[in-house]
Amino acid sequence: MQDLRTGDLICTAESGNQSIRWIGRRRFDAVDLRANPKLRPVRICTGALGAGLPTRDLLVSRQHRMMVGSRIAQRMFGQHQVLIPAIKLTALPGIFVDCAIDSIEYFHLLFDRHEILFAESAPTESLYTGPEALKSLGPAARTEILAIFPELADESHESEPARLIPINHQQTRLIARHLKITGLCLLMSELFQDHFLARKDFVAAVLTLPAIPTKRIQPVFGRDFGLCPL
């Protein structure tokens, strides 16, 4: 993540290689984390999402969303894939708020549209420019983004999410049903089999570690990746 620059091409789930339009980053030290525990990241341990994902431990902010795909989601929402905040996933084994770290740096990647990216090979989201997400950014960051996308200043503008984002109680219910029915964290297994394995050219790029040997076109593989929390 630290080596990415505006204009770099990132491999996305459905839009091919997309240019980064804006990168934001915020670092919080031990003093910040003690003063506001909600700034602490969620740790998603290796394999906790099923199908061996993520391929290494992944740190994301509490409100950063991971993509969940299963038949349970299909039955509940009529869509196989939905986006769920990391803090909701902490009900599952191997996913928890990490209280042991002394500092954390969060990154924002913004594209022309909301995209599904890959962090440690696990599907996750780019910065979503909905009104609440923009409010979570500092004034300088908002000013930079509005200079690139002035339409976001229009209160009537609605950003289209890359996947359905269920409302709060639906998120909780989805995770509870997974725990009840499977007893294990298998959120990603069906998703990977049914959707991405059909795209062999894409999966070959995503599963190659380290990233593709070019600095300008690469999947996202940072351990510390996510939106800054509210």
**Residue 199 identity (one-letter amino acid):** R
What pTM, to 2 d.p., does this model score?
Answer: 0.79
Per-residue tokens: 168 = 């709060």
At 50, phi and psi to the nearest 5? 90, 165
Burial 161-173 (b: 16+ CB within 10 A, else e): bbbebbeeeebee
Tell me the pLDDT of the chain (230 aa) as tens digits. 678 999 999 999 989 999 999 999 889 999 999 999 999 999 999 999 888 889 999 999 999 999 998 888 999 999 989 999 999 999 998 999 999 999 999 998 999 999 999 999 999 999 998 777 777 777 888 888 889 888 888 877 788 999 999 999 999 999 998 888 755 444 554 445 444 544 433 333 333 223 333 333 344 444 344 433 32
